Amino acid sequence: MGQVVVTGNFYLKGSFVLFTRDILEAIYDRYTHRAFVHPDPLETIYAFENPQDIEVAALMAAALAYGRVEQILKSLEVFFTLAGPHPAAWLMEMDRCSLEKAFRNFRHRFAGGSHMVGFLCGVQAVLQGHGSLRAVFALKDRGGDIEEGLQGFVDEILKHAPLNPRHLLPRPEKGSACKRLHLFLRWMVRKDAVDTGLWEDVGSKRLLVPLDVHMHRMALLAKMTDRTSGDIRTTREITRAFARFTPEDPVRYDFALTRAGILEKKDPAAFLAEFIP
């Protein structure tokens, strides 16, 4: 691709792009609408109004948000068909034996029935003990690094899980990007046309980018990082780069930018080129 320069707005040269807030806001305004959510596991939580139901639905949707989106939505359909219109109440009424029977034949890529049972038993126990997932997150959250609260959240659920959920509930302390946990937090904490804002009091400025392959490619193209490893160090580096544009909401552009790969099925450079004024 040849050089394209638009002073003050956008710079595209060879294989890299430099963002400005103008171009990011244009992408945000275009895509941050519920009409552009499908296909995305986020869409599955919109059916619920009760806060506990939203929490349970969102955590389940985030836990299974890996692999092909079509398979993600099929696996979530299995869960929500079982759970019905009130997944939190349904979960509270289940026992381990009933969950094992319900998910005996469940398979979502690496996740089988035992992983689901461990995950759901742990979630059930913390809901019984603390009343809400927000209260569980608050146990170790001191208002600083979001990963401190997230680690405490995971530890509390795992403490009560009779079977290891394994990758359904990753441990932040191991240094991975924990994309699905940070996706869950984005859905819960931010408030706009697509994110719920149910945990708005946590503070959007503390969030980290949910680093998936789409966002990583975009960030590499935009010179927000030169790290090729999709780990927590890369996540923090990219988050700091976005914070230069919107320090109170560094994850503001995550949903819109990831439409390039999820919805448009376009190379990041081709997607961004459409927004050159």
Stretch (H or E) spanning 12? strand 10-13
Q: Centre a 10 Å sphere on the Cβ of residue 244 and count the other Cβ atoms it contains.
A: 11
Which of the residues in the chain have pLDDT under 70?
Answer: 1-16, 277
CA-to-CA distance for 203 and 209, rounded, in angstroms? Answer: 14
The pLDDT tens digits for 97-112 are: 999 999 999 999 999 9
Global confidence as pTM: 0.93
Stretch (H or E) spanning 16? strand 16-18
Residue 273 confidence (pLDDT): 84
Residue 185, both tokens: 């937090």
Residue with tokens 């980290």: 208
